[in-house]
Amino acid sequence: MVLISDNYPRDLSKDDKVLEVQMFGKTVSNPLVLAAGFDKHAEAIEDFLDLGFGAVEVGSVTPLPQPGNPPPVLFILKPDRAAINRYGFNSKGHAVFKDNLINRAQNVYHQDPTTPNETGNMSFREGKILGINLGKNKASPQDSFDDYVLGVKELGSYADFIVINVSCPNLPGLRALQEKDTLKNLLEAVIKAKEELPRQPSLVVKISPDVSDDELENIANTLMNLGKIDAVVLTNTTTKRPSTLKSDPELLKEAGGLSGEPLFPMAIEVVRKFYKLTNGKIPIMGCGGVSSAKEVLAFARAGATMVQLFTKLSYECYKPNFEGPCLLTTIKKDLVDELNKEGKTWMDIIGEEHKA
Q: Which residues contact 150 (CB under 8 A, 6 or more apart)?
A: 63, 94
Q: Where are the domains of the chain?
A: 17-354
pLDDT at 2 over 70: no
Q: 17-354: CATH homologous superfamily?
A: Aldolase class I (3.20.20.70)
User: Can you name the residues that pair with 133 across neighbouring β-strands?
Assistant: 59, 163
User: At 325, is the pLDDT very low, low, confident or very high (cuts 50, 70, 90)?
Assistant: low
User: At 327, is the pLDDT very low, low, confident or very high (cuts 50, 70, 90)?
Assistant: confident
Over residues 155-168, the mean pLDDT reads 94
Using CA atoms, how far apart are residues 145 and 183, in angstroms rounded to an integer? 10
pLDDT of res. 11 = 80
pLDDT of res. 25 = 97
Using CA atoms, how far apart are residues 39 and 259, in angstroms rounded to an integer? 17
Lowest mean pLDDT segment, chosen from 12-16, 97-101, 124-128, 234-238: 12-16
Using CA atoms, how far apart are residues 80 and 287, in angstroms rounded to an integer? 17
Over residues 317-337, the mean pLDDT reads 74
pLDDT at 6 over 80: no
DSSP labels for 33-45? EEPTTSSTTS--H
Q: What is the pLDDT of residues 209-223, one digit of tens each?
A: 999 999 999 999 999
Over residues 215-237, the mean pLDDT reads 96
Indicate yes or no: pTM above 0.85: yes
Lowest mean pLDDT segment, chosen from 105-109, 139-143, 167-171, 244-248: 167-171
The conformation of residue 31, written as its DSSP 8-state character, comes to: S
- Distances, alpha carbon 163 to alpha carbons 151, 285, 318, in Å: 10, 11, 28
pLDDT of res. 180 = 72
Chain mean pLDDT for the chain: 92
**CB of 237 closer than 8 Å to CB of 29:** no
Lowest mean pLDDT segment, chosen from 6-10, 214-218, 327-331: 6-10
Counting residues of the chain whose pLDDT is more than 90, the rounded percentage is 83
Lowest mean pLDDT segment, chosen from 216-225, 231-240, 315-324: 315-324
Instruction: Give the count of alpha carbons within 13 A of 172, CB side only.
Output: 6
Using CA atoms, how far apart are residues 186 and 181, in angstroms rounded to an integer? 9
Q: What is the pLDDT of residues 263-309, one digit of tens each?
A: 999 999 999 999 999 999 999 999 999 999 999 999 999 999 999 99
pLDDT of res. 322 = 44
**CB of 295 closer than 8 Å to CB of 302:** no
